[in-house]
Every structure is written in structure tokens, then in C-alpha cells.
Amino acid sequence: MSDGHVHTAGQAHQPIAKDEHELTYFEKRVVALTNLLREKGIITIDEVRRAVEEMEARTPTLGAKVVARAWTDPAFKARLLGDAKAAVAELGLSTDGINHLVVPENTESVHHVVVCTLCSCYPRPLLGEPPDWYKSAGYKNQIISNPRAALKEMGVELDEKVEIRVLDSTADVRYLVLPRRPPGTEHMREEQLAGLVTRDSMIGVAEALAPAPR
């Protein structure tokens, strides 16, 4: 939450506000609630700042780190597919807020794609905020009714022999797809491989990027 001012823990009564633009209805509610909690001593501005910084640090690069490790370490991959939360914790990454994390693997014969038909359940600690299209009724309807056609429209054309499994994310279970490792990456280090992993590939609506020609 950026307010255009510098605050310290001692400025307990200085209100949080934004100067850049007129606040929306929901932004006003957030500011009012935050100021009330601060005035009652329930939270401090530093706690708010840390929470915001933690949320902003959650990006798909965290999930990409998990995928790259799985591509290069068969033992880690086995642990990831068996108990994803425990394996992710080995990398020092948090999955707080996720009750049960499942990592399905895309292979030559099976392709997984994730949707949340009820709302927008998503592995935010590892991928950040979901894209707008993920929350749209159009995506939900298309990926459920005709996943092969929907994926083709998004750039993923699968052979008819490939089984497509649509996974419905819920408040209890979140999914992070382990995409197929691109061919020609045998020489690449883990950090380089992570650069080929995109957010969309971990949702299942894209393949991992191909490496640049050597």
C-alpha cells in the first residue's frame, strides 16, 4: 500500500491516504479499516508495510524456481509430486494460506490445465496474483466445455492422443502445473531453466519457453 508519505512506527495517528488519484469505494474501505486497526493498537504501519511488501514479492519467479529444481533433480521432483508443500519448503518458499498444494506433471500423454470455476482460487504464494482472464467467465466456460479448443486458441495445440485433464482449484486444494522441460535444454543450469518457465505454463495454458539458439 503506497501513500506517498514516509511513515514510522511512532506516527500511530497519521492516516494512510493516497495522493496520486481519487480513492475508489473499496480503497476507502481498506484505508478506513487499516486506520481503525492502527488506532486501536491491533496493527502498526510497519506491519502493514511488511505485509504489502511480502505480497508484492510473490511473483511467478517463485514457482519457476520450483519447476527448474524439479527438472534438474529427480529426487526433488519425486518429493514434489508426492508432497508438494514439503518439497517447496525445502527451497525456503512459503505456502502459507494453501491448505493442500498439488503439483501435476505434464507429459507426452497427459496435459493438465487449471481453472477455478467458483471464484479465483490460485497458488498466490508461488505465482502472485492471478491474471484477469483466469477470473473471467469466458475462460472458465471454454476450458470446461471444450478444453482442447480453448488451449488451441491460447496457443497450445495438442495431439488428439494427448489426454487433457482440467483441474478445478478450490479453497482447499490449489494446483501448480509442472510443465514439460523443453528439448535442447540439457546444457542449461537451473537458474537458466527458471527463465523458461512462465506463469501461464504453470497454469497449463502454455508450454515452457524454448531456449534461444546456441
Task: Single out the catalytic residue among 2, 109, 120, 145.
Answer: 120
Residue 53 pLDDT greater than 60, yes or no: no
Nearest to 61 by CA among 149, 127, 145: 127
Residues 68 and 173 in one domain: yes
User: What is the pLDDT at residue 116?
Assistant: 97
Where is the domain boundary, 7, 37, 56? 56
Residues 155 and 78 in one domain: yes
Q: Does some domain include residue 20?
A: no
What does the pLDDT look like over 123-136, one tens digit per residue?
A: 999 999 999 999 99
Task: Please state which of the ranges 15-19, 48-52, 177-181 shows the lowest mean pLDDT.
Answer: 15-19
Q: Percent of the chain having pLDDT more than 70?
A: 83
Please give the residue range of the domain that contains residue 34.
25-56
Residue 114 pLDDT greater than 70, yes or no: yes
Q: Is 94 a catalytic residue?
A: no
The structural domain count of the chain equals 2
Residue 3: pLDDT band with limits 50, 70, 90: very low
Residues 105 and 30 in one domain: no
Residue 103 pLDDT greater than 70, yes or no: yes
Residues 174 and 112 in one domain: yes
* Cα distance between residue 134 and residue 73, in whole Å: 30
Residues 159 and 186 in one domain: yes
Residue pair 199/205 in contact by the 8 Å Cβ criterion? no
Residues 135 and 83 in one domain: yes
Residues 164 and 137 in one domain: yes
Task: Single out the catalytic residue among 116, 136, 145, 201.
Answer: 116
What's the CATH code of the domain at 141? 3.90.330.10
Q: Is 119 a catalytic residue?
A: yes
Residues 144 and 125 in one domain: yes
Task: Single out the catalytic residue among 119, 145, 169, 201.
Answer: 119
Q: Is 121 a catalytic residue?
A: yes
Residues 74 and 123 in one domain: yes
Residue 155: pLDDT band with limits 50, 70, 90: very high
Q: Does some domain include residue 84?
A: yes
Residues 148 and 86 in one domain: yes
Residue 175 pLDDT greater than 80, yes or no: yes
* Cα distance between residue 81 and residue 131, in whole Å: 25
* Cα distance between residue 165 and residue 109, in whole Å: 11
At 168 the three-state DSSP class reads strand
Q: Is 116 a catalytic residue?
A: yes
Query: Taking residues 199-206, what's their average pLDDT?
Result: 98
DSSP-derived letter for residue 175 is E
Residue 57 pLDDT greater than 70, yes or no: no
Query: Taking residues 63-88, what's their average pLDDT?
Result: 98
Q: Does some domain include residue 158?
A: yes
Residues 33 and 139 in one domain: no
What is the model's pTM?
A: 0.76
Task: Single out the catalytic residue among 121, 136, 145, 169.
Answer: 121
Task: Please state which of the ranges 15-19, 92-96, 135-139, 197-201 shows the lowest mean pLDDT.
Answer: 15-19
Query: Taking residues 149-159, what's their average pLDDT?
Result: 97
Helix ranges restricted to H, the chain: 25-39, 45-56, 60-72, 74-82, 84-90, 124-127, 132-135, 137-145, 147-153, 190-194, 199-203
